[in-house]
Amino acid sequence: MGTNRIEAFSDGVIAIIITIMVLELKVPHGADLASLSALGPVFCAYVLSFVYVGIYWNNHHHLMHAAQRVNGSVLWANLHVLFWLSLLPFTTNWMGENHLASWPTALYGFDLFMTAVAWFILTRALVSLHGPNSMLERALGSDRKGKLSVVLYLVAIVASFWQPWVAAALYAIVAVLWLVPDRRMEKVLLTEE
């Protein structure tokens, strides 16, 4: 099977996830800046999650561009990623509404952790399908950023019960790590074309 349907479906689900997240932002009841500032934690959580969804969308685009075909295992692995991403509006809103309380902050981190695990499973399913030393495997490389992200998520989940702001800072650091362009995929794709 080609990658067109999986790309189109994933793009649609990701667009819906972003839409749901923005709909959770409630308009303040007052007309002054104090009313707006009360939404600060919710808005910050939204921005962080929007960045995360954008990172996954961007990386999914590159991953599917490198893939030449998909099979049933890849389709299920992709749905696994989308499942955990689809919980992000809930965990985002719970964390933001409760101003980084321990359990909501930990659950947010667990959602990010499980999305990263699901992403790893998706990449392994694609590498398995395309074979060892395939363009896809070379493009993914050792995935140091992915492994570091998982470790930082686990540390942040634990930190949520000690200092939730440390956990939030770690979540932001992981997002910044992924905002820095990773040229591995683009380099391999350019040399193969």
For residue 136, the model assigns a pLDDT of 86
| Comparison of pLDDT for 103 and 62, the residue scoring more | 103
Long-range contacts of 94-98 (CB under 8 A, 24+ apart): 95/45, 96/41, 96/42, 96/43, 96/44, 96/45, 96/46, 97/41, 97/42
Please compute the mean of the pLDDT values over residues 83-105 and round it to a whole number: 97
Q: What is the pLDDT of residues 106-124, one digit of tens each?
A: 999 999 999 999 999 999 9
- How many angstroms from the chain centroid is the CA of residue 112? 6
Residue 132 Cα distances to 66, 102, 125, 129, angstroms: 14, 43, 12, 9
Please compute the mean of the pLDDT values over residues 162-183 and round it to a whole number: 92
For residue 187, the model assigns a pLDDT of 73
Range of the domain at 98: 4-192
| Comparison of pLDDT for 37 and 96, the residue scoring more | 96
Band of residue 193 on the pLDDT scale cut at 50, 70, 90: low
154 vs 113: CA distance, rounded Å: 7
Give me the amino acid identity at 63.
Answer: L
Q: What is the pLDDT of residues 9-48, one digit of tens each?
A: 999 999 999 999 999 988 888 888 888 888 889 999 999 9
For 21, the 3-state DSSP assignment is: helix
Taking residue 30's Cβ as centre, other Cβ atoms within 10 Å add up to 9
| Comparison of pLDDT for 189 and 156, the residue scoring more | 156
For residue 192, is pLDDT > 70? no
DSSP 71: -
For residue 182, is pLDDT > 70? no
Total domains, the chain: 1
pTM of the model: 0.93
